[in-house]
A = this chain, B = another copy of it.
Amino acid sequence: MNAALALVGKGRHFASIGIREITRQAGVVPTSFYRHFRSVDDLGLQLVDELGLVLRRMMREARANVLHADRLIEESVEIFVAHAQANRSFFLFMAQGLAGESRAVQEGIRSEMRFFANELANDLRRLRLLENLSDADLDMTCDLVVRTVAFSLADILSISPDDDYQVGQVRKRTTRFLQLVFLGAGHWKSG
């Protein structure tokens, strides 16, 4: 799995990676692959599971470190960007998988995003934010938030992590996007 991720991190697309390539990167003979996975798609599914762990770690850190309610968005975006850079290959895999070749992987990633959106909705309820929204509308808003952040992934991953200026730009833009969405949500009248 690390080998596959490494290849993705080097710019390859998951859909174009083969068994031999993976085992070569892992420093192991091709036949060994079958000791662990039925196919490359199977490996992909297990990667999705691990991606879930990465996302959960990120959420936990966000919950622990976002202290000032008034800077909630900025700080969350900052944590997100930091995690995206620290787990570059994982998030590359995620971005690829969303429109990937394996229906199962696609569905898995989407399911992780739904989970993430649900958790976000719960957090907002707990913080007593956006109480003007019905449950369905809150879910809708969180869905939009998660999508927006996910799209920023593409921005982050396509620039160099060292380019502080560009990273700052992405961070600023993502923050504005979310502020806009929350502003809209604050004025939304459910029903």
Q: List the interface of chain A (C-beta within 8 A of B).
A: 11-13, 15-16, 92, 95-96, 98-101, 103, 106, 140-141, 143-144, 147-148, 150-151, 154, 158, 173, 176-177, 179-188
Interface centre among A150, A180, A188 (most CB of B within 10 A): A180
Asked if A99 and B96 sit within 8 Å, CB to CB, the answer is yes
Asked if A183 and B188 sit within 8 Å, CB to CB, the answer is yes
Q: How far is the CA of A148 from the CA of B12 in the complex (A)?
A: 26
Contacts of A103 in B (CB 8 A): 11
Kindly provide the distance from the CB of A147 to the nearest chain B CB, expressed in whole angstroms.
5
Copies of this chain present in the complex amount to: 2
Asked if B148 and A144 sit within 8 Å, CB to CB, the answer is yes
Q: How far is the CA of A137 from the CA of B103 in the complex (A)?
A: 37
Kindly provide the distance from the CB of A116 to the nearest chain B CB, expressed in whole angstroms.
14
Contacts of A177 in B (CB 8 A): 140, 143-144, 147
Kindly provide the distance from the CB of A107 to the nearest chain B CB, expressed in whole angstroms.
8
Contacts of A11 in B (CB 8 A): 101, 103
Asked if A180 and B16 sit within 8 Å, CB to CB, the answer is no
Please list 17 pairs of residues, one from A and one from B, whose beta carbons are closer than 8 Å in the complex, sorted by A's number. Answer: A13-B100, A13-B101, A15-B15, A16-B16, A96-B99, A98-B154, A144-B177, A144-B180, A147-B147, A147-B151, A151-B151, A180-B181, A180-B184, A180-B185, A182-B184, A183-B188, A187-B187
